[in-house]
Structure 1
Amino acid sequence: MSQASARDGVPAMTGATALPPLVADGECELLRQRTADVAAGRAVLLHVGGPVEADGQIGREAVREQLRTLTQMQVILTYVTGLPVVKVGLIAGAYHHQAAALNLVRALTAGLGPDLGEIPWGSAGAQVDARHRDQMSRIARGLAFLKGYGLTRLSRGGEVFAGHDCPGCAGCATAGHLLWLDAGLTDPDRLDALVRAPNALAIRLGVEVEPDRILRLIDWLDPCREPGRLTFVAGMASDLLPPLVEKVRATGAEVCWVGDPGPFEPGARLRAFVEALRSVGAHPGGAHVTVSGPRGAALDLVLDLADALKVGARTPPS
């Protein structure tokens, strides 16, 4: 593996032969269709990351547990908001780890969707904060009702897309469906490689982001204004969002807005994110959540998001 490829975690080149792609163009196109629904307010995007590696290996049980948590978060969001959830997992980095993780995800999600009756909802409910336990009890009762009719399998359970941290080089497009990059990326060759990539793109927005820089990225990476091509992951203060959202809207770009609450008071920050987007008539598209430790913390966060999305929600466009 070349030094650059090893550092960036992208497929290496052996002579003139690249390692096999990990995702297909058709899968990337399907994700772009789903993110277009998010941008239009017809769906919610849930991007989940967390450790699944131990002793240099991708663990089957760790991947399975993350998928269970992701499924529970999906059910909570859909139950409360009435919207479908687009699931993206950021679970590995370097090529061989990404390949192992994707193989496990595909094996664990093949065939019928997961049986919700096999997920321990009772124990998960006991882990969440007291303020959310009534909601978890209502969801458990709803699932018990569906189980009585044999309706506990998700129809789209196998749709779990892979996120991949991408420095902008061409090989990244083969390693994940949703490519993550920083708003500070300025190298024209790397930006041109991303323009040619079939993937949806997620751009991190930190506190230091300049609106003019974001507008230039839109013109470069989304010249045709394709709905859902770009996702902005906002880690900034909520009061900075409304003017930025309005400037982006003025370009004609239909983007996904996703909140990144960070480790401190994440529930309150997600609620502030939702309120900031709604204050200018935009759709808060979802959240980026890091799952580590007990499952209850992740479920608390998604319950906060679900409650915030439910309040003042408008009827989704047809």
Structure 2
Amino acid sequence: MHVEMERAMVASRRQWAPDSWSGHSALQQPEYPNLPVLQRALAELSNLPPLVTSWEVVALKEQLARAAAGQCFVLQGGDCAERFADCSSQRIANQLKILIQMSLVLVQGARKPVVRIGRFAGQYAKPRSADYEDVQGVRLPSYRGDLINRPEPTLEARTPDPNLLLRGYERAALTLNFIRALVKGGFADLHHPEYWDLDWTKHSPQAEEYHNLLRSITDSLRFMENILGAPAGGSDRIDFYTSHEALHLGYEQAQTRQVPHRTGWYNLSTHFPWIGIRTIAPDGAHVEYMRGIDNPIGMKVGQATPPDMLLKLMDILDPDREPGRLTLIHRFGAEKIAAGLPPLVEAVTAAGRRVLWICDPMHGNTKSTSSGYKTRDFGEIESELSQAFDIHARLGSHLGGVHIELTGENVTECTGGARGLNEHDLHRAYETEVDPRLNYEQSLELALLVANKLRAESR
């Protein structure tokens, strides 16, 4: 029976096409009032050059397979929802800086390589809990990210605009181009950590600990080079990969293509697409689309994902049990992870599956204040992450990465952390249009906490 099921899955995958999702129920899709304009935009998008290459995608899949085996650790981070207005050199550089700094902290703690995946160059669409919202007594379509509509509270701005798909592609291309230029040009050179310092880190309570750690890395590097009598290879650049939620299926399909010298189909708008927790129905359009692409893929799981459903999704999305293919990103909340995570880990282990587990400690801890701000408490984020490490270790599993919504800007969107931000501080620098992000100090503090966990694991 098991052999027949596998044969059926292989046959089904052979029948897959980039548009086969259109025969399934597609949730969280915008309703465009002008379909001919949408079709023209998608046709133009399908003829534009890919944003990433298949060999980069394959390289990431190999690294994720190593992370699943405990040989490296994954740091995935960036904006909740990118904004076109934030496509500027300073903001992109700041985002890169904080991810580099966090990864160095994790390298020092884990004593193993870190795979860096940014939530950037494509994270322009967001699922919403309702199609409409009331703004000052006016019923308007919900803002779904700059790829789809605009945040201004007017009917014109909130009406889905197909031309934004092309603008999103262009902004993603500009972001990727600048990141690649920075990395290739030595921005991540370990000999020059001053390139990554943000001006206001001088006031961070975590600055001294970070700078001590950085001095340790650079001193070790110079020591090795003095012994070798030559520069250490690879110390002047690092790899960065991109990721975004594969939400707008028309956009994803338009950048899905076959490439020379490889079999299969690749989504070349990003290295690592993931399915959100609102769109993981086994018979839904998003699962149908994702099962056919050869990228490594992620899947958000949580309280609404029972073990039998998870195993069914794994059979659909990874029938061949390919190393590095499937990453499970769990999100529960600090109060629910102790009860919610173990049944999923136990079910996957009992099924003989090896997947990469990543903890998203952000989304399950979102709440609204009395003044109407959406926020997250740093203590709860820390608690969920710490519990995740302990639960995996207790069950003989392995937590291989973290998934964080963060920014390199000095925002005040999440409470807590070393500076003790509270509800009354949120208005000072609250920028997000969707979900709150950790600022630089909070992100670095969280990295130091994760490093301590990884250091304890390696003993």
TM range (shorter): 0.7 to 0.9
> Which residue identity lines up with residue 311 of structure 2 in the other structure?
L
Q: Tell whether 2:280 aligns with 1:185.
A: yes
CA apart distance, 1:135: 6.2
Q: Deviations over 1:50-101 (max 9, x none)?
A: 2796663511121111112111111111111111000000124232222221
How far does residue 20 in structure 1 lie from its aligned partner after superposition? 2.3
1:238 matched to which residue of 2? 337
Q: Which range moves more in the overlay, 160-169 or 78-87? A: 160-169
User: For residues 254 and 156 of structure 1, do their structure 2 counterparts lie closer, same or farther at Cα, with a shift above 3 Å needed?
Assistant: farther
1:289 aligns with 2:404: yes
1:205 partner SS = strand
**1:309 maps onto 2:457 in alignment:** no
**Over residues 115-173 of structure 1, what are the superposed CA-to-partner deviations in whole Å (9 max), with x where a residue is unaligned?**
2343337878755546x844652442342453464768854834100002103733461
Distance 2:85 2:248 in 1: 25
The one-character-per-residue Cα deviations of 1:260-290 (angstroms, maximum 9, x if unpaired) are 1123222222111111111111111111112
Give distance in 2, aligned partners of 1:35 and 1:16. Answer: 29
Which of 156, 173, 183 is residue 99 of structure 1 equivalent to?
173
Q: Which amino acid aligns with 1:254?
A: R
TM (normalized to structure 2)? 0.60
Q: Is the 8 A contact 2:242 2:270 kept in 1?
A: yes
Query: Does the 8 Å CA contact 1:204/1:234 hold for their aligned counterparts?
Result: yes
1:270 to 2:385 alignment: yes
Asked if residue 163 in structure 1 is aligned to residue 243 in structure 2, the reply is yes
Q: Give the equivalent residue in structure 1 for 2:100.
A: 71
CA distance in 1, matches of 2:66, 2:203: 32
What residue is the counterpart of 1:46 in the other structure?
A: 75
Q: Which residue identity lines up with residue 175 of structure 1 in the other structure?
A: S
Mapping 1:1-318, distance limit 5 Å: 3=32, 12-14=41-43, 17-50=46-79, 56=85, 58-91=87-120, 92=122, 93=124, 94-110=168-184, 114-120=188-194, 126=202, 128-129=204-205, 133-134=208-209, 136-147=211-222, 149=225, 154-155=234-235, 157-167=237-247, 169=249, 170-171=253-254, 173-183=267-277, 184-186=279-281, 187-236=283-332, 237-239=336-338, 240-262=340-362, 263-264=376-377, 265=379, 266-292=381-407, 293-294=409-410, 295-313=440-458
What is the one-letter code of the residue matched to 1:166? A
| CA drift at 1:212 | 1.8
Counterparts in 2 of 1:125 and 1:82: CA distance versus 1, 3 Å: farther
The answer to which of 146-155 and 157-166 deviates more is 146-155
Amino acid of the residue matched to residue 250 of structure 1? A
Aligned partner of 1:246: which letter? Answer: E
Note closer, same or farther for the CA distance 1:125–1:147 as it changes in structure 2 (3 Å cut). Answer: farther
Q: In 2 relative to 1, CA 51–275 (structure 1 residues): closer, same or farther, beyond 3 Å?
A: closer
- Partner Cα distance (1:87, 1:227) in 2: 18
Letter in 2 for 1:157: R
Maintained 8 Å contact 1:125/1:133: no
Structure 1 pair 127–241 and aligned structure 2 pair: CA distance change class (3 A): farther
Amino acid in structure 1 at the alignment position of 2:241: F
Letter in 2 for 1:83: K
Percent identity for Structure 1 against Structure 2: 27
Deviations 1:16-47 (A, max 9, x none): 95332211211111110010011000010000
Which is worse superposed, 61-70 or 213-222? 61-70
Give 1:107's aligned amino acid: A
Ranges in structure 2 where 5+ consecutive residues have no aligned partner:
1-30, 125-167, 256-266, 363-375, 411-439
RMSD, aligned CA: 3.2
Partners in 2 of 1:182 and 1:227 — Cα distance?
21
Between stretches 200-209 and 132-141, larger displacement belongs to: 132-141
Alignment size in residue pairs: 308
Could you say if the C-alpha distance between residues 15 and 153 of structure 1 is closer, same or farther in structure 2, counting changes exceeding 3 Å? closer
8 Å Cα contact 1:38-1:45 kept in structure 2: yes
Displacement of 1:14 after TM fit?
Answer: 2.1
CA contact (8 A) 2:46 2:254 kept: no
Whole-Å Cα distance in 2 between the matches of residues 165 and 55 of structure 1?
17
CA distance in structure 2 between the aligned counterparts of 1:57 and 1:85, rounded to whole angstroms: 27
